[in-house]
Structure 1
Amino acid sequence: MTGPRIAHKRPRGERSRQVILDAAAELAATEGIDGLSIGNLTTHIGMSKSAFYAHFPSKEELQLATVADVHRRYREHLLDPAAAQPDGLSRLRALADGYLGYAVELPGGCFFASVAAELDTRPGPVRDRVAAYESEWLGLLTRYSREAGAADPAQLAFEVHAALRTANNILVMYGDHAVVERARRSIERSVRDAMG
């Protein structure tokens, strides 16, 4: 017999920081990470600027923390569950399905697709952090393609990535949810060809 569950509350400062990061991620995905305005953000969440600056002394620190926090969520809800699958093909499919689920659910689609497109030609620490996470993503697709037995794992990873990003772009721009099934069919065709 188990006792009553004890709720563990995060300290108030940590909760306030998370509220900021949640709002920043949402605004960055829909309005751009470079356009994150401290004024708009504090108004959006009802926080004073002085309270905000206690958490993030600069816009760049906010951007870096936002990117890291979104990656943490991707890891918990997408990358780790895929890694727990029993074989390479299951892991590859789980990544693809998880990604498509995120693209459908999030207001601006895939955060990293949006931010990578915005920052790809702008050097700096935020771009470098996003590029590192993008490399990790492509590396996982390639690794799982190799583990699945693809003749050319890098090519299969490229095709899966292309299908996912295209689906994300169409979802965001047109709201066409039928593209999710088209992406799945495209990925399955690429998988069959890679194993052929």
Structure 2
Amino acid sequence: MVGRPRDERTRNTILRRAADIASKDGLEGLSIGRLAADLGVSKSGLFGYFGSKEELQLATIRIAAGVYLDEVVQPALEVPPGVKRVWRLCDNWLSYSERRVFPGGCFFFTVGAEFDARPGRVRDAVAAAGLEWSRLVARTVGDARRLGELAEDTEPDQLAFELISFMETANALSLLHDDPAAYRRARTAIRARLGVADSAARPS
């Protein structure tokens, strides 16, 4: 029991490094051997934490989800419901990608593309995280509509799809073309899309 806090800190350090690697090379790019070499520890010691590559991958997804929650979601939830919270969610996401919180951009964008057609526990975990994010954006849009800040005919799932598409496109283009302007363009597109919806809700 005495050594457990230190063990947990060590495990989290290992997993944070694993998430950084996976954001660039994918979850299949992870291995006990690679992590051991990067961190200067024994393979047997790392194996004792995870036991298998799949368990390492699943634990890496969980630690990445925690980072995502801290960087993107929680700060937005401090903003009152409405269009400003929708904007904050989107801006936080773009900032998280732009600042390279994970060196490969958005962790879940990378591993989602990697596992979208591969059945199994890892794909299920990645899919669940993506679905949770989409539903959060849609709920936030729905709250703004109920408050009268978006047009009554705004369809939350559709608008969430569009906003997420702007964000993910910025992430992809910034990586593929080394184009930081993609984030500015995404923010402009999101502001315009929310602005159109907001103006439509106002009486003429």
**Aligned pair partner of 1:103 in 97, 100, 115:** 97
Could you tell me which residue of structure 1 aligns to residue 114 of structure 2?
118
Q: Percent identity?
A: 44
Could you tell me which residue of structure 2 aligns to residue 39 of structure 1?
33
Could you tell me which residue of structure 1 aligns to residue 166 of structure 2?
163
For the 8 Å contact 2:105–2:175, the answer to whether it is kept is yes
**Aligned pair partner of 2:190 in 179, 187, 190:** 187
Three-state SS of the structure 1 residue aligned to 2:29 is coil
CA distance in structure 2 between the aligned counterparts of 1:157 and 1:182, rounded to whole angstroms: 18
For the 8 Å contact 1:19–1:45, the answer to whether it is kept is no
**Aligned pair partner of 1:55 in 33, 43, 49:** 49
Could you tell me which residue of structure 2 aligns to residue 178 of structure 1?
181
Deviations 1:6-42 (A, max 9, x none): xxxx822112101210110011011110121221111
Three-state SS of the structure 2 residue aligned to 1:34 is helix
CA distance in structure 2 between the aligned counterparts of 1:102 and 1:76, rounded to whole angstroms: 10
Deviations 1:58-112 (A, max 9, x none): 1111100110111011112211111121122121111111111111122100000
When the two structures are aligned, how many residues end up with a matched partner? 187
Superposition CA RMSD, Å: 1.3
Could you tell me which residue of structure 2 aligns to residue 20 of structure 1?
14
Partner amino acid, structure 1, of 2:168? R
Q: TM-score, normalised by structure 1?
A: 0.91
Could you tell me which residue of structure 2 aligns to residue 6 of structure 1?
none
Stretch moving more, 85-94 or 110-119 = 85-94
1:132-143 → structure 2 map (5 Å cutoff): 132-143=128-139
Three-state SS of the structure 2 residue aligned to 1:11 is helix
In the TM superposition, structure 1's runs of 4+ consecutive aligned residues that sit over 3 Å from their partners are none
Could you tell me which residue of structure 2 aligns to residue 153 of structure 1?
156
Partner amino acid, structure 1, of 2:114? E
CA distance in structure 2 between the aligned counterparts of 1:88 and 1:124, rounded to whole angstroms: 37
For the 8 Å contact 2:71–2:96, the answer to whether it is kept is no
Q: Which runs of 5+ in 2 are unaligned?
A: none
Could you tell me which residue of structure 2 aligns to residue 4 of structure 1?
none
CA distance in structure 1 between the aligned counterparts of 2:162 and 2:197, rounded to whole angstroms: 10
The alpha carbon displacement at 1:194 in A equals 2.6
Stretch moving more, 125-134 or 31-40 = 31-40
Q: TM-score, normalised by structure 2?
A: 0.88
